[in-house]
């Protein structure tokens, strides 16, 4: 346990480790944003069923995620590049949202087959949403980190490693 803590401490002192910590923080902010919105629109207000509620909450949470990741994690400013930044971000985000929609649909089916009350359904749907995004979290970091690093290297005239 002590060795693992020491390795984590050393990692947190590297540029890549700092970036990973920032990315994790943004992911936590995005997840909390999604959870709050989902809990309000599905749990409290009962505006829509599970799947549309998950879609709505995850799309709204993606906007602050994009801007926080771009500016704070990868240190980008100025206009966004459509093909190198915006499109890859939204493709990876929509992939995560797609997994979340499948998970919400499965949660709905489970809840219906077990005749769960609305509070239990809400907890199940929120948990399924979190689980789905956990699956794609690391993959998304690796893709976005590589893309933003290549853009930064191109801006300063350094050839990116293959």
Q: What's the pLDDT band for 156 if we cut at 50, 70, 90?
A: low
Using an 8 Å Cβ cutoff, are 124 and 39 in contact?
no
Query: Torsion angle of alpha carbons 56, 59, 61, 62, nearest 10°?
Result: 180
Question: Is 60 exceeded by the pLDDT of residue 157?
Answer: no
pLDDT in tens, 16-55: 888 888 988 999 999 999 999 999 999 999 999 999 999 9
Q: What is the pTM of this model?
A: 0.80
């Amino acid at each position: 346990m002590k060795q693992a803590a020491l390795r984590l401490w050393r990692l947190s002192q590297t540029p890549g480790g700092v970036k990973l910590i920032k990315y994790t923080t943004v992911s936590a902010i995005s997840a909390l944003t999604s959870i709050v919105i989902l809990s309000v629109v599905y749990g409290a207000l009962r505006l829509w069923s599970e799947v549309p509620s998950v879609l709505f909450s995850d799309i709204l949470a993606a906007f602050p995620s994009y801007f926080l990741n771009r500016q704070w994690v990868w240190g980008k400013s100025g206009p966004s590049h459509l093909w190198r930044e915006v499109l890859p971000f939204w493709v990876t985000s929509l992939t995560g949202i797609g997994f979340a929609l499948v998970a919400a649909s499965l949660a709905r089916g489970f809840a219906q087959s077990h005749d769960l009350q609305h509070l239990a359904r809400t907890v199940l749907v929120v948990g399924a949403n979190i689980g789905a995004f956990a699956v794609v979290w690391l993959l998304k970091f690796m893709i976005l980190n590589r893309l933003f690093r290549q853009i930064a290297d191109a801006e300063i005239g350094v050839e990116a490693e293959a």
